[in-house]
Amino acid sequence: MLCNMEIIAKVSRGSKMDQVYIPQKREGFALGSYVIIKSLDLKMIKTIGIKKKITEKLYFYNIKEIEPIKVEIAKKIIKIIEENNDSENIIITGSFLDKGFNFNDIDILIINKTKINIGHIRSKIEKNIGTNTHLILLNKEELIKGLSSDPLYQMMLSRYIAKKRFIYHAKQKINYKILDLHLLKSKTLIDNFEFLNGNEKYYLTRNMISILLFLQNKKITKEIVDKETEQLFKIKVERIKQNILEKDKFLKKYKTLYNEIFNKIMENIKNGSEQK
């Protein structure tokens, strides 16, 4: 016999299987009955007046230490996003995770299958925390594709704070045309050395070295890129950030590396290579 009764319950963690508890005193749903379980979307939750529980526990990946106030900011960001959209995952990355408070904005990845109003969310976050944000919306498949073909994605996901753990297996595929576009950014340092500050020079150098490591099929993290930079330039990255550089010596090495990477990319584009 079909029953039109509906019971709203929460999925709970079980020892072997997750489960849904419903009241023993109820009309309908006799023992042995077959039922359909479906999730409530955000509109339904608001309509029936259930307060959606906002994630409090965060997942930290490759972060040894971080200021408590940044943890609170991360929680606030995730709470704002979850109050407006039921996203699969929310990942905070970039220079915000560096020690200190020298970041210009906060990089946020929102993993979601459907389109959402990024502008509205950005405004709410910036109004609440008073800091510029860089939001990227993409689905899981797009993120995996980016991780396999783009060194910047690998750099972003080398450390992060997230709503939940993100596990991926991406086989590297080199798209030389994409790398050419990324490398072009780093040419800015050669053309505008005198006008750039230390952080800008560091960012452009890091971008170039990330591409070099990617072409060598090496792992890309901030620590690895910084170490490679110091070995190649024979200088501490802090001196680059502080803009304490011997111009001629630094530029000579920079141009040599840039040309080597550029020539390798152009050679593969000319040969029609799409992936390694």
Answer whether residue 2 shows pLDDT above 70. no
Instruction: Tell me what pLDDT residue 77 has.
Output: 94
Q: Phi/psi of residue 221, each to 5°?
A: -135, 165
Residue 141 is which amino acid?
E
Given pLDDT bands bounded at 50, 70 and 90, which one contains residue 124? very high
What gap in Å lies between CA 80 and CA 90, rounded to an integer?
11
CB 155 within 8 A of CB 210: yes
CA distance 150 to 172: 9
pLDDT for res 84:
73
pLDDT given for residue 107 in this prediction:
94
Using a cut of 0.95, tell me whether the model's pTM lies above it: no
236: left (phi over 0), alpha (psi -120 to 50) or beta: beta
Q: What is the mean pLDDT of the chain?
A: 85
34-53: per-residue pLDDT in tens?
Answer: 777 766 555 555 554 544 45
User: How high is the pLDDT of residue 10?
Assistant: 67
Domain residue spans of the chain: 59-162, 176-270
The gap from C-alpha 120 to its chain's centroid, in whole angstroms, comes to: 20
The pLDDT tens digits for 244-255 are 999 999 999 999
pLDDT tens digits for range 48-67: 454 445 446 899 999 988 99
The CATH superfamily label for domain 59-162 reads Beta Polymerase, domain 2 (3.30.460.10)
**How many angstroms separate the first and last alpha carbons of the chain?**
60
Minimum mean pLDDT range among 58-72, 131-145, 176-190, 261-275: 261-275
Residues 73, 76, 80, 82: is their CA dihedral positive or negative? positive
Report how far residue 159's alpha carbon sits from residue 173's, in angstroms, rounded to the nearest whole number. 21
